Structure 1
Amino acid sequence: MSNYRKAFTLIELLVVIAIIGLLMALLLPAIQRVREASNRMRCQNNLKQIGIAFHNYHNDFNLLPPGFYENLGWSVFILPYIEQQALYRQYNIDQLPRQQPGIDNSTYIDYNSNPYNQMGLVLMPLYQCPSSPVKRSQATFEAVSGQQPFTIHYYGNQGPKGTNPVSGAAYRVTSGNHGGFAQQGVIGRDYQLNISEIIDGTSNTLMVGEISKNWTNGYRAWQRGRQRSDNNACAKNVANPINSTGYNGSNNFNDISFSSMHVGGTNFVMGDVSIRFLRSTVTMQVYLSLASRDGEEPFSNTD
């Protein structure tokens, strides 16, 4: 009896390799889609938890968190409501003249001075979209002992810029060299709202949205509030379409577009803590209406 065993021929081996390659080519996009779907859900959950923290803050102070007061953003003021009480206490916020809410801006904590700049080296997963390639500040002047602080991918809705489709009047916006500050949103400069002031309805008004694309020199430390006297590093105006590349950090800092690495749009948490994925194709009329808390613009939830 012969012990001869037939081996694979070169052609058969190449066929097997080709089949494996074809299967991998078919499977990899599916795996990537599953991973992105998971990341999108995690991002939405982050926004959900932020929205809940905003409402818990409101329960205590009868106001939503401040957009920012001097150099600290809302991301600091909600720390006790996202199980970060120990980190919050390190800011010594209670030492400020009027405490929360309505902190006196004549005295402020400089987030970028020792020991407060050390807080930026604490990774805050809740503040970052897992799909984003940018995890740290892009501002070299924020470096701490040679390390860039971690950044944040979620920004308050400061309000719309443009024309109200109902009244025909321009939305209220302050003057400024970097786009000014819209005045009809939910999270803005030096003001805090009671939920009752969201006249258009909490389910119809954007509260916090996502900016997680890699835009030019735009990301700052997660705890930062004011960029300069007329820049806002924790809330943005709704002035340009979602995922617009017209404003990418090099001009009109306050008008940076809400954007994401998710296909087709970006995530927002509404004033009632519901999550909405707004597509890049949403009309500016609907988008501006959603950004306004008191414009009384009509639209349907199917828009």
Structure 2
Amino acid sequence: MRARAEARGFTLIELLVVIAIIAVLIALLLPAVQAAREAARRMQCTNNLKQLGLGLANYESSVGALPPEVVLSGSGSTVTWWGAWSVHGRVLPYLEQAAMYDAINFNLSYSTPQNTTVAGAVVTAFICPSEVRPEPRPRGDGSRYGVTNYGFAMGDWLVWGGFGGAQNRSAFGPNRSRRLGEFRDGLSNTVVAAEVKAYQPQMSNCRPSGVVGPNDVPRPDADPLTAAPEYAGGCAINTNGHTEWVEGVVHQSGFTTAWPPNFQVPGGPNRQDDVNIAGMSEGRGGPTYAAVGSRSYHPGGVNALLGDGSVRFVKETMNGLTWRALGTVAGDEVISSDAY
């Protein structure tokens, strides 16, 4: 009689061992894959900021000065004309977006029907690949606004002193076009743009009671609630920060150096949100004080564009006073290159 060959297969224990080995390999490889993807996203984000830097340099070379944050007219706290277009909109022709720029009617608000197509456009150069919500923000009338992940430097706490009031100490401000020659601190020691998060929660149209003058701003290491009690929920909160790249106000197209990069500011009714204080909108005549922080989804810090066109990854652990100093164009601070 012939012996029947005995069938051979995996035992349950062997199968479990194989699965365990595969799980261990995945656990070892996944962080490396995620790190590689984040490195690629950060590189693209850096390239976007470099494009903005080239755009600003070409704009300054052609026009003779950097673009204004926003253009408006009036007196006291009364605005009689509001040309809300942002720095983003004014540098479009230098970002290979000449057709989009030509479609803008700068004599009309970005919210008018003639400009809604541009206002809702997604501009790749304005969006970091790490942004978790890059989609445009819908409006009640069916139109939409394009978001941005890059804000221009518009002050520390002081953004604008109002008509006839003090100007901020940064590169951009309402009704002001700085020349690069005014950057007395040195172009390589001045931040002109940095990352921001889209759909950032913010306290809107309120003025921090702890900030009463251009020379009476809180230190960057101050407790937020002590510096501005409104952080406890004294103002209306919304999640529309940096969802309108077309609008030239600090909470939509800018940032301030009030707090260091990625600084967490609990606020709102439940103190559970990381919020900004948008202050009194520039469109209401000022004065405007705001703590609109630079934030990113990159671990450890944010990408920042300097006046010379270079991009540095600024650590979130940097000293707040150094960040404040980088935000001024003529503060005469001495900044060591290893401080950030």
TM-score range, shorter chain: 0.7 to 0.9
Q: Which residue of 2 aligns with 1:241?
A: 260
Paired positions, count: 269
TM-score, normalising length: structure 2:
0.73
1:251 is aligned to 277
**Cα deviation 1:111-152 (Å, max 9, x = unaligned):** 1121212213321111001101121455x6x4552x542201
Aligned to 1:285: 321
Counterpart among 155, 162, 183 of residue 168 in structure 2: 183
Q: Distance in 1 between matches of 2:149 and 2:166?
A: 19
The TM-score with structure 1 as length reference comes to 0.82
Distance in 1, matches of 2:37 and 2:116, equals: 34
Partner of 1:21: 23
Deviations 1:31-59 (A, max 9, x none): 11111111111101100000000000011
1:268/1:192 CA distance change after superposition, 3 Å: same
- Kept in 2: contact 1:243–1:260 (CA 8 A): yes
2:181: which partner in 1? 196
The correspondence for 1:53, drawn from 52, 55, 58, is 55
* Unaligned segments of structure 1, at least 5 residues: 94-107, 162-171
| Counterpart secondary structure, 2:60 | helix
How far, CA to CA, are the matches of 1:192 and 1:111 in structure 2?
Answer: 21
Q: Which residue of structure 2 aligns with residue 97 of structure 1?
A: none
Q: Which has the higher strand share?
A: 2
Deviation at 1:175, TM superposition (A): 4.7
Note if 1:160 corresponds to 2:163: no
Classify 1:220/1:213 alpha carbon distance in 2 versus 1 (closer, same or farther; 3 Å): closer
Offset of residue 174 of structure 1: 3.9
Following superposition, the deviation at residue 302 of structure 1 comes to 0.8
Identity of paired residues, percent? 31
CA distance in 1, matches of 2:175, 2:193: 17
The gaps in structure 2 that reach 5 residues or longer are: 72-82, 202-238, 268-273, 280-289
SS class of match (2:256): strand
The two structures, once aligned, show a CA RMSD in angstroms of 2.3
2:122·2:136 contact (CA, 8 Å) conserved in 1?
no
Offset of residue 271 of structure 1: 0.2
- How do 1:57-206 residues align onto structure 2 when only pairs under 5 Å count? 57-69=59-71, 70-93=83-106, 108-137=107-136, 142-143=139-140, 145=142, 148-161=144-157, 174-175=160-161, 183-206=168-191
**Conservation of the 8 A alpha-carbon contact between 2:152 and 2:192:** yes
Equivalent-residue separation in structure 2 for 1:286 and 1:302 (angstroms) = 11
SS in 1 for 2:118: helix
* Partner residue, 2:74: none
